[in-house]
Amino acid sequence: MRFDVLEPRSVQEAVDLLAARPEERRVVAGGTALIVFLKERAYTPEALVSLHRVPGLSGVEPEDGGLRIGAMTRLADVHRDARVRAECPVLAEATRVVANARIRAVATLGGNLCHADYHSDPPGVLLALGARVQVRGPAGERDIPIAEFYRDFYETSLRPGEIAVAIRIPGSPLARTGVYQRHMYSARDDWPCLGVTALAEVDETCRTLRLALAGVANRPLRLTWVEEQAVGRRADAALAAALADLAAEGVDPISDLKGPDWYKKEMVRVCVAEAIERAFERARPAGRRE
C-alpha cells in the first residue's frame, strides 16, 4: 500500500489539507494505533496529514483554574508534567499505565482520544472530570464535551476536516483527589479488561461522587445512577460496597478478548468498590482519614 505524507506547518493548513479530501486522508499524531490499522488495511488512505511540524499543539498550560493540554502532548509527558501531577493527579495515574513505556513515549493524548478505543485509560478519566476536546475545522473552532465526543467503536463526533487541538479540563477539587484503577484479564495484556475512575468530595458524608468505566461498553460510560445514590450518605466501605452492587447491576458489559461479559460484571463490582473506597480516603480531610 502506498500513500503520501503531508506535513502542514499550521493548524489551518492541516485543516485545509484534510478538508480537501476528508474520505481519503487521515490525521497522524503519534501514529502508534494508526500504523496497526494501516498494516491490517482497515484504513487505505490516499495520504496522511502529519501534525508533527505544526507548532503550538503540545504542552500543558493553566486555563481558567483548570488545565489545557495540547493534543500532540505525548502520554509520557502528560504523566510527568508537574502541573498535571499537582492539579489533576488522577490523569497522571491513567497516562502512566497506558499500553507500555514505548507506546507512551510516542502516543499523544489527542491521538489516544481520537482513536476512540473503548479499552483506553484516559477517556474515562476525562469523562469523569468533565473535560472538553477543543477542535478546529473548516467552520472554525468548537469545544466538544467528552460525554458527546464518542459515538461508537472507534468513532467520534469529529466532523469532516476537523482536528483536535487541545483537551480542556475544568478546575475542581475532585481532580486532586480522584482515583483511577484498572483490572487486567491477563498479565500479558497491555490494555485493561476494565478501568474505573472515581472522584469524590466528602466530609463525614459523600457530598459528590463521579464514576466512569472504560472497557465495558462501546464508549466510556458515566455511572450517573450510582452517583445519585451516594450523595448525603456516610462515606465508608459499606457505602462503597452498596454502590458497587448498583454499578454491577446496571451495566451490561460486552464480551471481548479482554474478558467475557459475566467476568467483567463481577470485576465491575470488585473494582468499583475498591476505587470508591480509595477516593473517599483521598478526599477525606487529613485529620479525619482512617
pLDDT digits (tens, 9 = 90+) for 72-122: 999 999 999 999 999 999 999 999 999 999 999 999 999 999 999 999 999
Distance CA 67, CA 83 (A): 8
pLDDT at 237: 98
For range 133-144, the mean pLDDT: 99
Measured at the CA of 131, the angle between CA 86 and CA 196, to 5 degrees, comes to 75
| CA 16 from centroid of its chain's CA atoms | 27
Thinking of the domain 60-169, which architecture would CATH place it in? 2-Layer Sandwich (3.30)
Domain positions in the chain are: 4-50, 60-169, 178-288
Q: What is the pTM of this model?
A: 0.96
For range 141-155, the mean pLDDT: 98
pLDDT class for 43, splitting at 50, 70, 90?
Answer: confident
Please state which CATH number belongs to domain 4-50: 3.30.43.10
pLDDT at 49 over 80: yes
pLDDT at 223: 99
Q: What are the cell numbers at 81? A: 508534567
For range 157-175, the mean pLDDT: 97
| CA 274 from centroid of its chain's CA atoms | 20
pLDDT at 290: 59
In CATH, which of 3.20.20.70, 3.30.1180.20, 3.40.190.10, 3.30.390.50 is domain 178-288?
Answer: 3.30.390.50
pLDDT at 38 over 90: no
| Residue 81 CA: distances (Å) to CA of 58, 76, 232, 260 | 12, 9, 35, 36
pLDDT at 122: 98
Among residues 181, 205, 197, which one has the least CA distance to residue 288?
205
